[in-house]
Structures are given as structure tokens and as C-alpha cells.
Structure 1
Amino acid sequence: MSWNDFYQRQQALAEVLDNARRDLAAAFATVPGPFRDVDELLAALHHKWMQQLTGRVDVALTDTESAPHGDRVEAVTRAWRNAAKENSGLRAALDVHADHPALDEPTAREHRVLAVAAGLAEEHEPPHDIARVGRAFLQLLRATPDPEQQARPSRLRKLIPSF
């Protein structure tokens, strides 16, 4: 792949994600030029997601290792949530196509990365078992409310005495 091809693919991905912010269904109605089909487009989008996610996971684990009471599960949870929040359009596009066969292997790889990074599985275990653990971890992560997103009582409410 030449640099020109790389930049064309990056521009096409940016356009798809920009269109997805406006109309998620319509964003995938046509496949942009540098991609042969939806399968290739989804694979590229998932690759972009994994770049965002793994960078945050690596930083979170490094910070956790230097903390006196570091929790790898919490670090990976925070990293995934931050990546999802900062790349909400990308995450939404992948979520809408979660059942697409082109995402089966990339999603299983993501699950394996999460399970191993969180310390819930070891790399020497069978890949399908690691992916199963990572899938369960991600389901729990998504089902649990983010404490940072929950509404906090206003300061005024704290000042009003209860009757």
C-alpha cells in the first residue's frame, strides 16, 4: 500500500464516520472507493477502533503497575469506556454491524485482548476460552453504569436541609 492509498483510506474512513454521525444506516449504503466491499470497510473500522483501544489500555496498565493498589480490571474498564466515549461514532458504527460476519474474528481478537489485559485470562489458554471470558467481561462492563456518568447531586441540594 502506498502512502497515497493510505491517505485515501483514512479520508474515506473519516467520511464514513462523519456520515454515520448524521445517519448511521445511510453511512454504509455505499462503500467508498478505496474499499472493495463492506467487509473490508468494517475490518478497517475495527482496526481503527483497536488502535484507539489498545493505546488506552497500554497507558492504563502502565499507570496501574506503578500504583500501590492497582486494579487491572478497573484500568481496562476505564480505558475501554474512555475509548468508546472519545470515539462514539466509530463505536456506534461497529455496534450496529456487530452481527456482520466480517467482524467475527476482529471482535474475538478484541475480546482476547481485553481478557488478557484485565488479568482474567492467560495467553497460553485456548483462544476460544480467552475470547469467551473477554466477551463476558465486555458484556458486564457495558451493563454496569459508568460511575463518572451518573448524575451527581447538585451542591445546592446538599445545602438544603431535609424535612
Structure 2
Amino acid sequence: MSWDDFYRRRDALDAAVATACTHPDTQLPVVTEDPLAGSSMNAIEDLSTAEGVAQALHYRWMLLLTSRVDLALLEAERTGGDLVEAVTSAWHRTAETEPALRRVLDANPVPAASLAREHRMLALAAELACAGDSDENIERIGAALLGLVRSAPKPVAPRCSPLSGLLRKLALSA
């Protein structure tokens, strides 16, 4: 895929999200023709069906979510934090930074294979399942975790008192 193809595909997906947000009662918009006349449809041909658009949008979600989960797991490892909490907060932060994408994915059916990949990633990242477990069990555990993540209240960042800020500045100056 060339850079032109990449940008055409990105622009088509951005337009699909924008259209779906402004018209939530309609089906996901599909790409019927390339916006650049005379160029190939190869980069966006899989966006010609609502299922293809949903799959591409979920793939975008997974790229964003996986990177946040990886960072959260590294931080949890460094601080000795809880992995389930790290995965939960990463999911919530991704949903907060991409509200339009999350809203479109919630309002439209996503292919089962795409959801299964998300479930497996979440279960394995939180170490609630092992790579040696069956895919069905890993997916079931991941689906249960995602259900809990979505229903749980968003984590609240701990508030620092003014005294702790002053103490931190004093410690740094010593």
C-alpha cells in the first residue's frame, strides 16, 4: 500500500465515522467510489460493505487500544500495579480519547472474529488466561472482562493535596 492509498483509506474511514456520528439512525456509510478520480480502488475496496467498514474501524480501535494496554502494562510492571486495573484504565482512556469511534462501534455490529480478537487480547493482557488455554475459553474470559470494564465506573485519578506538591518540590531542591 502506498502512502496515497494509506491517506485515501484513512480519509474514507474518518468520513465514515463523521457521517455515522451525524446520522446515527442509518447504517454505516460505505465507499462506492474512490474520491480521487482515476486512482485504484485497491486501498479502499474492502470498505464497500458495512461489514467491511465496521471491521476496518474495529481494527483502528484495536491499534489504539493495544498500544494503550501495552503502555499500561509496562507501568503496572514498573510500579507493581494490578494488571486487570491497568487493562481497565487503558480501555477507558482509549474510549475517552476516541469517543466518536467508540460510539460508532457501539451502535453498529462488529464482525464476530474482530470481537474475538479483542476479547483474547484483553484476557491475555490482564493475565486472566494463559496462551495454552483454548481459544474459546480465552474469548469467554475476555468477553466477561470487557463486560465488567464497560459496566464499571470510570477510574478516578487520585487527587493530590497541595501539601504533597510542596513536599515534592522541597525534596527535589534538597
Question: Do the aligned partners of residues 24 and 65 (structure 1) sit closer, same or farther apart at CA in structure 2, a change above 3 Å counting?
Answer: same
1:7-30 deviation digits (Å, cap 9, x = unpaired): 1110011111122232223362x4
Cross-structure match for 2:30: 31
Q: Output the TM-score relative to the length of structure 1.
A: 0.82
In structure 1, stretches of 5+ residues that fail to align are 150-163
1:111–1:130 contact (8 Å) kept in structure 2: yes
Cα distance in 1 for partners of 2:70, 2:103 equals: 23
Matches within 5 A, 1:41-60: 41-60=53-72
SS at match of 1:121: coil
Shift of 1:5: 1.8
Cα root mean square deviation, aligned = 1.8
Which one has a bigger Cα radius of gyration? 2
Matches within 5 A, 1:69-108: 69-98=80-109, 100=110, 103-108=111-116
Aligned residues: 145
In structure 2, stretches of 5+ residues that fail to align are 34-43, 158-174
Matches within 5 A, 1:105-120: 105-120=113-128
Q: Output the TM-score relative to the length of structure 2.
A: 0.77
1:72–1:119 contact (8 Å) kept in structure 2: yes
Cα distance in 2 for partners of 1:16, 1:27 equals: 10
Identity among equivalent pairs (%): 40
Cα distance in 1 for partners of 2:143, 2:65 equals: 15
2:89–2:155 contact (8 Å) kept in structure 1: no
Structure 1's consecutive aligned runs of 4 or more residues displaced over 6 angstroms after TM superposition are none
